[in-house]
Amino acid sequence: FCAEAGAGALGAVFFAKSPRCVTPRQARVLFEGLPERIARVGVFVDAPAGQLVAMAREAALDTVQLHGSEPFATIRAAQQAGFRVIKVLKTSGEKMLAEARALPQEVGILIECGRGTLPGGNGAAWNWADAAPLSNLRPFALAGGLTSQNLREAARLSHAAAWDVSSGVESAPGLKDHEAIRDLLENAQKIEVPQHLNFWKGIYELCQT
């Protein structure tokens, strides 16, 4: 349904404390038959590099999204194994910019607020404008409290090139709502984003698909 509605990527969560957690085998089944234009993303939190690569292969992913405090060695191991990497940054101001500059250009960046009890956006809206300075440095994706009702405002304030949405299209934790997904994707397709998307071509590229 998400692919037909226009999503650029679909994600599976491999974090035991999340209500959305699945096994690599379950993720592989979920991703079977998707169009090749859809990125298959796995969300990890401080998984050891070897375990991460093994799980990503079993799930037939093409991209891994790192939500913890993973060292650069984990990023490099995932890249060497053939996976694209998205690194989540949870800061703002100069610290955020410094962390972004330290990442290779081929690593995608996702910005979230970093508050809450679990890694991820925790469904909480935040001051998305705090992420805007990063747009002068490189394209990035935005997460945290995004819904079909506020996506345009979040895009305007943050200057993000792409968006990561989970709880904002759910009727209950882990239960996606088709109508909410459709509404969000329709709104996303109306938002103009920079053409120099670089890493984000095909990743969370909702407005272009």
C-beta of residue 174 within 8 angstroms of C-beta of residue 190: no
Residue-level pLDDT at 173: 84
Residue-level pLDDT at 98: 95
Residue-level pLDDT at 196: 52
Q: What value, to the nearest 5°, has the Cα angle with vertex 173 and ends 168 and 179?
A: 45
DSSP state of 142: E
Structure tokens at 32: 């079977």
Residue-level pLDDT at 29: 97
Report the chain (209 residues): mean pLDDT per 10 consecutive residues.
Answer: 91 92 96 92 97 98 96 97 95 90 94 63 72 92 92 92 92 91 92 62 42
Residue-level pLDDT at 206: 36
Residue-level pLDDT at 197: 53
**In 3-state terms, what secondary structure has residue 13?**
strand
pTM value?
Answer: 0.88
**For 132-136, which contacts have Cβ atoms below 8 Å and span 24 or more sequence positions?**
132/157, 132/158, 132/159, 133/93, 133/96, 133/97, 134/96, 134/97, 134/100, 134/109, 135/159, 135/160, 135/161, 135/194
CA distance 127 to 55: 34
Residue-level pLDDT at 75: 97
Residue-level pLDDT at 203: 53
